[in-house]
Amino acid sequence: MSRHIRKLQGIVREIIKTNEIKEDKEGNKWRKCIFIVEIIGFSKRTPNEKLPEKLKGAKVKVIRWCCFDWHYKIGVRTTLTHEETEAVLRGKLDLTHI
């Protein structure tokens, strides 16, 4: 039996840069950022899911690591991970500590 994986999508409304930076093997510097994401619904791969009314338009804080200029775009769609999605569905909107 396959497990049903749900993923929420949202629009990036704000990006807060932190001072935490990591360098990868290629020498790229990755900055830890807090993305403020406005929830708009489930991804198209979960068409039978209905977003609870209380979560429509909810603003969620998630951690993302950014390196290149295109990582910092505002107004673009982003998909939450399965773990982030399940936390939001349980009512947790600040995911910066998971």
pLDDT tens digits along 5-45: 899 999 999 999 999 999 999 999 999 999 999 999 998 88
pLDDT at 47 over 90: no
pLDDT at 2 over 60: no
Distance CA 43, CA 21 (A): 30
| Residue among 51, 49, 48, 38 nearest 93 (CA) | 38
Q: In this structure, are strands 29-42 and 8-23 parallel, antiparallel, or unpaired?
A: antiparallel
pLDDT tens digit string along 81-96? 999 999 999 999 999 9
DSSP tag of 68: S
